[in-house]
Each structure stands twice: as structure tokens, then as C-alpha cells.
Copies of this chain bind each other. A is one copy, B any other.
Amino acid sequence: MNTRTYLDNAATTPLDPEVFAAMLPYFQRKHGNASSLHEEGRQARKAVEDARRLIAEALSWDPEGIVFTSGATEADNLAIFGLARSRPDRRHIICSAIEHHAILHPCDWLEQQGYRITRIPVDTTGRVNPQSIADAIDDQTLLVSIMAGNNELGILEPIREIGELCRARSVLFHTDAVQAFGRVDLPTESTDLISLSAHKLHGPKGVGALAARPGMRLVPLVHGGGHERGVRSGTENVHGIVGFASACRLMVERRETLVERLSGFRKQLIDGVLRIPGTRLNGDRSGSLPHIANFSFAAIEGESLVMKLDERGIAASTGSACSSPNLEPSHVLQAIGVPIEMAHGSLRLSMGQQTTQADIDTLLRTLPGVVEDLRSISPFKLGDS
């Protein structure tokens, strides 16, 4: 296992041993329910509230607005449905065509209920033009949701500009910052709602948060004991929340050196992979997250590429892990206009804090041969597309 090269950190990151160490006491003697009045309960409550403050600090946010969830999918759903149900008078939502399914599918559901959904197209690098958002806003618009950094392409969206124009038009602005938080600056002052996930930050699976402006009314997805100021009921996942906060703190502390290192690796990956004939970079060299690079290879099939790399000890993906069981070409690659035959031959390489120069060297040494082998057995010829 230890000799494997894990380049699928956009799907999930290995838990940081320091994060695990922070969680450990909450699996052992600190086992209380944060709603209990006794010492065990107060200890759990303190851990949850300390974590909330830490995450708020990392985000420059008011701790009162941090709502812990089971992950970013729930956070995205809470943003969309929670707002829609609290403001039934406004029935128009704007998102981009390349949002995560955790945004697109709630919007599809609302559309079936009679909402208008405007899905803003992106340019060939995956960028949203803020002007198209300004043009789409009308007096029925409840919310604009544009992700900060795309999970497949790594492309950064102009969310500062979008947030400011939303504010000027009195429309709420949400961003899914799952991949971007801890890796780039977020314009939190012009954002009303932010979704975060712990397991994309070397924290544990099963925990995330929605940061909302304090006082914003959100109808819960999950009703019950009134936890999280009534917005999200259910016994707090204390160990998960503690791990999430620890992961946030470490990401912020290490960010500068990490981003510099991963940006260098990303450049090497792009330069190296583009030397393979019939290859294109999806996204852009600049204006991108430091840890994600996405490529298309003519005349091969992405799933085969991932399986062949896996046999050689390299973990990568064709796109979002969330839709891997689905063999349709990614909606993101379709949105940036990758020809459909090339969209099937996509490869996402994503790095984490554990990624080393040796991992990059291994990938760049292995990939050309794998691509060549697959093309030698492909029914398509290079140049067909």
C-alpha cells in the first residue's frame, strides 16, 4: 500500500495523523453527548464550540453562522432548500453549468416544483462570466450559487466579483468552497453562504459545514432536537467536528508552503502530460486551484486509463468520484466544449499535502506508456477526433 501513488485527493484526502490525534480522546474517555448537562456533556459541548470558533476564525466568519452538517453535499442542499423553503416568494435560482451535483440536483428538484433555474454557461476554460450572472438576475432571484474552485478542472471562478454584484442587487450569494477553502483566499465578506467538507482537507469523512450569515433564516432539512440553533438536528458528531476544526487549522497554517509546492508540481504535471501526443489540458494553466489538473486524451477511454494506472500503483480518476459509477461523460467537460470522444478520455490528477516529487515522477514516467498501450488496442485512431 505504502508504495502506491495517490493522486485522487479531490475525491478524498488521507486523514492527517495530527488531525487523528486531535480526534482520539473523543473516541475514548471524552465520549459525552454535547447536549447533556453533566461533565461528559459539557466537555463535548466545549469541544464542539471550540471547533466552531476555530473554523469561523479560519474563514473570517461569525461562529454563530457555522452550522455543522454531515458533509458538503448536505451543506449545499441546506443552502438551496433551506433558503428556498424560507423565502417561497422568490422562485428563481442561478447557478453555473459546472456546479457539483449537490447543487445541480437540488436545483433540478426545485425546477420540477415550478422554480426557474438559470444555469450559466462557462467559457472553454470553465470560467463563468460575471456579466452573464448580472444579466440573469431579476426581481424573483433568490440565490446565486457559484463554486469557488471547480472539483474536476481546478478552475477558479470570479466569486469576488460575483459576490459583489449579487450584494449590489440584493441577491444572496452561495459558494461551494469544498476544494478552494484552505488553498486560496475566499472573499468571505461578499459571500452569504459557504459549503465546506472536512475530508477534502485531510480531515475525517462524515462532517462538513454550511457557513451562513448569522440570523439568516434557513428551513432545516432535518428537524428534531433543535441542535445547531434549530437549523440541523441530530446528536453532534463530536469527534468528526473536532477533526474538521483541526484539519482547517492545519490547512491555514500550512497553506503558503503547501500551495507553493503543489503549484510547482501542477506545472510539472501539465508540462509533462502535454508532451504526450493527442492530449489537452482541461481548465487553464493559471487561475486554478494548485492541486487539481485535468487532461483529455484522444482515442482512449478514461475508465481504462484509470484502471491501467491503478494496476501500476497510481490512484487517479476520470472526474468527480461522486459520479464515477455513471459512464456518461462529465457534465463539466461537456460544458467547456470538450469533444465528446475526448471527454470520454479524461484524467483528473489531484494532489494532497502528502504528495511528493517521487509521486509526480512516477506518474510522468508511467502515463506515456499506459496511454500508448491503450491507444494500440483502441478502435479509434489518434487524429480521428
Contact = CB atoms under 8 A, between A and B. Distances in A.
A301 interface: no
A235 B199 contact: yes
Interface string A188-231: 00000000010100001111000000000000011111110000
A164 interface: no
A256 interface: no
Contacts of A307: 37-38
Nearest to A199: B235
A125 interface: no
Contacts of A28: 15, 20
Given A102-B224, A225-B73, A235 B12 contact: yes
Contacts of A72: 234
Contacts of A76: 224
Interface in A1-54: 1-2, 4, 6, 8, 11-15, 20, 23, 27-29, 31-33, 35-41
Nearest to A223: B105
Interface in A56-114: 69-74, 76-77, 100-102, 105-106, 108-109
A8 to B, nearest CB: 6
B226 A70 contact: no
A286 interface: no
Interface stretch (A130-138, A245-253, A288-296, A309-317): A309-317
A262 interface: no
B235 A37 contact: no
A268 interface: no
Interface stretch (A236-244, A275-283, A337-345, A356-364): A236-244
Contact of A37 (B27, B199, B205, B310): B310
A101 B233 contact: yes
Nearest to A105: B223
A326 interface: yes
Contacts of A170: none
A322 interface: yes
B77 A38 contact: no
Given A38-B315, A77-B221, A205-B237, 4 more contacts: A37-B317, A70-B206, A102-B222, A224-B322
23 contacts: A8-B36, A8-B41, A11-B33, A12-B36, A15-B27, A35-B324, A35-B325, A36-B315, A36-B321, A37-B324, A38-B307, A38-B315, A41-B315, A77-B222, A100-B224, A101-B226, A105-B224, A197-B235, A205-B237, A226-B325, A227-B322, A233-B322, A240-B240
